[in-house]
């Protein structure tokens, strides 16, 4: 199958790239599950952009740099922030039903989230990601130049060195020419040739035992780009969302940052004894509940461990019931299903792995180290997020860099693609004990949760590194001998990403942003990114 551009991933970044290209390019979108089964669709809070005259680019940039712990790339931050309004206007033009407010300058309601000095979050109630994804999905499905491959797992990228021997003197530069993908419904592997390949697979939250991410977030794009020879950066900075619903029947349900932005208070639960019902954030930060996510997550983690709790409470029941039902209908309905009425009682919450701030090293056009390969969205590391992502900057990055990526591709002449070899599984057999995959998956995620969590030590990281190395050896052997499955592909990618997170964390001998080490509690005077380079580069 031949395309001008193959996009792996169907979140906001991938769909943005596709729609900007589709008028003049033949585009393939590879989606692991259905088109809406990704993290973008789950995003509740909104999109940060300067949309009011009382706000400014400089304020948004300053808020981003402060949250990022001194590690944000200022040029990337300025570029993305300054292109924010046109990104929002593009989404409005596509028909995204943002929440209206006739008294606002742009006509849409703006909310505020932790770390922001102004109300600048445009949203669609408390289900912004879903509203955006449904709108763009309709356009993508209707476009004649876009071919969708739902329920297809990307296996690996096809680079020049996989095409066989070639003369050293001519065309010796390694490039990306496409990818192999497997139809998860029948197991067939297909070869996709593309002049340009875009990794838009999201983050790697499933490397942890508890996460707000969907099951698809297994770091596929980061791992595939790494294996193809691309550098990765800042992988130690995993953002733990401070408020994930704590309930035995609620899997990965996020309680949006905007609850705290609208006055929600963090309190100790009845299990705290005499301290039950007390607020605790002011003891950890003067910004209290509006402190950045890393501060809030560490504070909750501290209180849980100090007092032997399983969770803490997030209480917004002091606000009018009609206000809560109007602004947070998704959260209200889901909590009510589980017997929690947020208009009358607090919500039990715990921190959970939420966002991968690092990723594949790219420029502001999404270009990676490998010609022909791009990375956008959570898969990439543009430098915007630094050591800690500012709330609601991620969807903005998806749209701004998605458009820039498409513009870079459109500016290049068409060159065609070489003949690509078919997938070879002549020397593999069906697995005899697939339970090995489930066991390794569980061991990997528990090791990451126990040893590479919110608070870290060198000894814990070294324990994780040792266990991950053993698991990787087993998984690679299994991959080499048996026919692939979706579970095996995800596990192979997760173990690679886990190794990157641990190795990056061991490199950083300080505490900064989301990386907090008991062995190195201070912050070094100069902020430097951590960069890992594949051995073969």
Distance CA 313, CA 482 (A): 47
Strands across the sheet containing 347-356: 238-245, 347-356, 312-315, 265-267
Please list the residues that pair with 240 across neighbouring strands. Answer: 353
Tokens linked to 369: 């180290």
Tokens linked to 43: 């995003």
CB atoms within 10 A of CB 475: 22
Tokens linked to 95: 């028909």
Distance CA 537, CA 529 (A): 19
Distance CA 128, CA 137 (A): 14
329 Cβ contact partners less than 8 Å away, ≥ 6 residues apart: 125, 126, 127
Distance CA 300, CA 349 (A): 9
Distance CA 359, CA 204 (A): 10
Please list the residues that pair with 267 across neighbouring strands. Answer: 279, 313
Distance CA 359, CA 382 (A): 8
CB atoms within 10 A of CB 357: 27
DSSP code for 271: G
Tokens linked to 166: 């070639």
- 293 a catalytic residue: yes
Task: Say which residue the tokens 């680019």 belong to.
Answer: 57
> For residues 154 and 329, is the Cβ–Cβ distance under 8 A?
no
SS3 78: helix
At 388, phi and psi to the nearest 5?
Answer: -170, 120
Residue 137: its H or E element: helix 128-142
Distance CA 288, CA 271 (A): 22
Q: Which of 340, 281, 491, 397 is nearest to 43 (CA)?
A: 397
For every residue of 423-472, DSSP letters joined together read P--TT-B--S-THHHHHHHHHHHHHHHHHSSSEE-HHHHHHHHHHHHHHH
For every residue of 96-120, DSSP letters joined together read --PPB-TTSSSSB-EE--TT-SS--
Greatest CA separation for the chain: 77
Q: Which of 442, 455, 532 is nearest to 491 (CA)?
A: 442
Please identify which of the residues 293, 389, 403, 456 carries the catalytic annotation: 293
Active site residues: 293
């Amino acid at each position: 199958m031949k395309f001008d551009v193959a996009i792996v991933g169907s979140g906001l970044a991938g769909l943005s790239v596709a729609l900007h290209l589709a008028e003049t390019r033949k585009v393939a979108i590879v989606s692991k599950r259905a088109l809406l089964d990704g993290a973008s669709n789950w995003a509740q809070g909104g999109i940060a952009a300067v949309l009011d005259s009382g706000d400014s680019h400089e304020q948004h940039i300053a808020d981003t740099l402060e949250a990022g712990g001194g590690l944000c790339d200022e040029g990337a931050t300025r570029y993305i922030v300054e292109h924010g309004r046109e990104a929002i206007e593009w989404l409005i033009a596509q028909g995204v039903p943002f929440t209206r407010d006739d008294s606002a300058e742009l006509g849409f309601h703006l909310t505020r989230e932790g770390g922001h000095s102004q109300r600048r979050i445009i949203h669609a109630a408390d289900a912004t990601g879903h509203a955006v994804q449904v709108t763009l999905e309709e356009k993508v499905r209707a476009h004649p130049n876009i071919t969708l491959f739902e329920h297809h797992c990307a296996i690996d990228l096809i680079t020049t060195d996989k095409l066989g021997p070639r003369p050293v003197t001519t065309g010796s530069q390694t490039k990306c020419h496409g990818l192999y993908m497997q139809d998860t419904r029948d197991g067939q592997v297909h070869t996709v040739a593309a002049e340009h390949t875009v990794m838009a697979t999201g983050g790697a939250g499933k490397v942890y035992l508890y996460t707000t991410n969907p099951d698809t977030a297994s770091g596929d794009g980061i791992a595939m780009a790494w294996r193809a020879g691309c550098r990765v950066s800042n992988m130690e900075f995993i953002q733990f969302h401070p408020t994930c619903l704590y309930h035995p029947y609620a899997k990965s349900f996020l309680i949006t940052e905007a609850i705290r932005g609208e006055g929600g208070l963090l309190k100790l639960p009845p299990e705290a004894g005499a301290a039950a019902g007390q607020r605790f954030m002011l003891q950890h930060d003067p910004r209290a509940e509006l402190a950045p996510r890393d501060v809030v997550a560490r504070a909750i983690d501290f209180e849980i461990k100090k007092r032997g709790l399983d969770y803490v409470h997030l209480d917004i029941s002091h606000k009018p019931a009609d206000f809560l039902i109007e602004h947070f209908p998704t959260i209200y309905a889901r909590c009510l299903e589980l017997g929690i009425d947020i208009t009358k009682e607090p919500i039990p919450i715990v921190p959970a792995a939420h966002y991968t701030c690092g990723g594949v090293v790219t420029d502001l056009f999404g270009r990676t180290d490998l010609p022909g390969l791009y990375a956008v969205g959570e898969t990439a590391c543009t430098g915007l997020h630094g050591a800690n992502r500012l709330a609601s900057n991620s969807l903005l990055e998806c749209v701004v860099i998605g458009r820039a990526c498409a513009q870079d591709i459109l500016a290049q002449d068409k060159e065609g693609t070489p003949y690509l070899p078919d997938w070879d599984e002549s020397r593999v057999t069906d697995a005899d004990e697939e339970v090995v995959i489930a066991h390794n998956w569980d061991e990997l995620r528990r090791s990451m949760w126990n040893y590479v969590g919110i608070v870290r030590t060198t000894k814990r990281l070294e324990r994780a590194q040792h266990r991950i190395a053993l698991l990787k050896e087993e998984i690679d052997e299994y991959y080499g001998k048996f026919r692939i499955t979706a579970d095996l592909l995800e596990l192979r990618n997760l173990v690679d990403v886990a190794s990157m997170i641990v190795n990056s964390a061991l490199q950083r001998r300080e505490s900064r942003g989301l990386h907090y080490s008991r062995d190195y509690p201070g912050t070094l005077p100069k902020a430097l990114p951590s960069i890992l380079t594949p051995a073969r580069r």
